[in-house]
Structure 1
Amino acid sequence: MDERSERWAKRFEIPLLIAAVLVIPMLVLDQADLGAPWDTVEAVLDWGTWLVFLLELVVMLSIVPDKKRWLRDHPIDVAATLLSPPMLPSSLAAARLLRLLRVLRLLRLAPLARRVFSLDGVRYGGLLAFLTLIGGGTAFAAAEHRASEWEGIWWAVETMTTVGYGDVYPTTVAGRAIGIFVMVVGVGFGTLLVGAIAERFIAHEVDQDIQEIDAGEDELRHELREVAARLERIELALRTRRR
């Protein structure tokens, strides 16, 4: 790809990463069959994520110099867009499972994911965890027919923090599916925090070591200059005596 194509590809990285991640709760809602209003949420996620993939496909094919080569190099991108349109009828259940191809985009976006889920990307992980907490708790309350959404949010908090008091637990397939997603996000965000804190301490120690090395090099250069000056004075003195 030329420079213009690479710039546009980088612009699509974050939207595609978000879209690929949102496919997971979309599939959970689709399989849970919670009814209104979750059917509407699932439809919005389905159309929204698919339109992001479609937009990337259209834009990249319009600007890349070699369209055939781009299609050969991006088979998952093409398949995720062409084989998983939201307008597929609900009777084609097997075909609708092809939406999993959108999740596979995370493999190609792995380098970006590593940058996002790093010390600088903690805020993105925190935002994802917060949305999962609120959305997962609300969905759990609806799936388990709880009296209050706050009960679902309480369950999401103790699930994400791996406390697990056992006072609230899923009894339906939909609730357990939501629980799996909430647990994965919770454990992932905890791991992210631990890694970010460790990286911060390590980076601080590395900076200190670099500063110490730089200071040692400066001191060594200063001593070498003094030794060179002394040798020069000794050489000058020897020349004076010979005369």
Structure 2
Amino acid sequence: MQERITPFQLFILVLSIYVIGAMVVDVFVPLPHEVSRLMQYMDSIVCLFFFADFCQRFYRAESKLAYMRWGWIDLLACIPAGLFQGARLFRVVRVLIVLRAAKSMSLIWKIFWRNRAESVFASAATMTVLLVAFSAIAMLLVEAPNPDSPIDTAEQALWWSVVTVTTVGYGDFYPITTLGRVVAVVLMICGVGLFGSFAAYISSMFVKDDSERDAREARAQREMTRALYHEIRGLRDEIGQLNAQIQDQERRLAAQAAKPVNSEHKSS
């Protein structure tokens, strides 16, 4: 299946690799129960992005039937692993398909330079999702063993990670260990930069709209100038033809006026 790689597709690719890595860790590494639950929550969240990607490409496909020849793999990969364990295998296949379409890092680099604003947004979205996931996992690992910590469940860690990366910080859940506070500091600093990137992308959308409007106006002015130029050329050619006709008419009139004079001289 031919894939048209876009920054959003690269975002989905990174999430797919994360899901596969999390799957391998969950299978081969003994994890605390709450960490496993947290990874299941993140798996469900990532599946929402997978489903949005599937809907987008299905809508844009010229032939829906031709797309579904391979698209059913993407559809099954959207099912959370907790509901359908076989979805994990389809995610591996999906990653291989996108990697085959990407082919090389040079192509990925060209995609980023060709769509800079979209690439910045996709990179910021990727980093946000990964930061939320890894920060929540790290917070559970360092805070849950402490009986005095208010963060000891998957839901609390995920909630804390989201409100911290968005720099909201309600203060209902907070780390009390040194390592937990280090994780919080890193997440807050990264969150400021990431949401600054989101703001820059939104601003670029308005600038892009203004640029497109200016480009349309400039194109209309060029077309109008070109049309006026052709009209002026046509008028100049017509004026030249009229001048030539007038000169011919004047020469004929002068020749006719000179004939009687010549005949009188001959008769005398």
Structure 1 unaligned spans of 5+: 1-13, 19-35, 39-110
- The Cα of 1:122 is off from its aligned counterpart by 1.7
Structure 1 residue 159 corresponds to structure 2 residue 164: yes
1:27-75 CA distance string (max 9 Å, x none): xxxxxxxxx969xxxxxxxxxxxxxxxxxxxxxxxxxxxxxxxxxxxxx
* Alpha-carbon contact 1:125-1:189 (below 8 Å) kept: yes
Deviations 1:175-207 (A, max 9, x none): 111011211222222111111111111112111
Give me the whole-angstrom Cα distance separating, in 1, the residues matched to 2:117 and 2:228. Answer: 42
Structure 2: distance between partners of 1:229 and 1:123: 53
Matched to 1:223, the amino acid is L
Q: 1:207 aligns with which of 206, 212, 219?
A: 212
**Pairwise CA distance, 1:228:** 1.2
Residue matched to 1:224: 229
Q: Are 1:144 and 1:171, in contact at CA under 8 Å, matched by a contact in 2?
A: yes
CA distance in 1, matches of 2:201, 2:136: 26
> Percent identity among equivalent residues?
23
Deviations 1:63-106 (A, max 9, x none): xxxxxxxxxxxxxxxxxxxxxxxxxxxxxxxxxxxxxxxxxxxx
Any gaps of 5 or more consecutive residues in structure 2?
1-9, 15-29, 33-108, 145-150, 249-268
Change (3 A) 1:152 1:117: farther
Q: Specify whether residues 169 and 186 from structure 1 end up closer, same or farther in structure 2 by C-alpha distance, changes over 3 A only.
A: same
Which is higher, the Rg of structure 1 or of structure 2?
2
Q: Does 1:119 align with 2:118?
A: yes
Query: For residues 150 and 200 of structure 1, do their structure 2 counterparts lie closer, same or farther at Cα, with a shift above 3 Å needed?
Result: same
Whether the 8 Å CA contact 1:129–1:189 is kept in 2: the answer is: yes
1:119·1:200 contact (CA, 8 Å) conserved in 2?
no
Structure 1 Cα separation of the partners of residues 229 and 162 of structure 2: 62
> Structure 1: which 4+ aligned runs deviate by more than 6 Å?
none
Q: Distance in 1 between matches of 2:166 and 2:126?
A: 16
What is the aligned partner in structure 1 of residue 142 from structure 2? Answer: 143
Could you tell me the TM-score, scaled by structure 2's length?
0.46
**How many residues are treated as equivalent by the alignment?**
137
Q: In structure 2, what is the Cα distance between the partners aligned to 1:217 and 1:193?
A: 36
Cα RMSD of the aligned pairs, angstroms, is 2.6
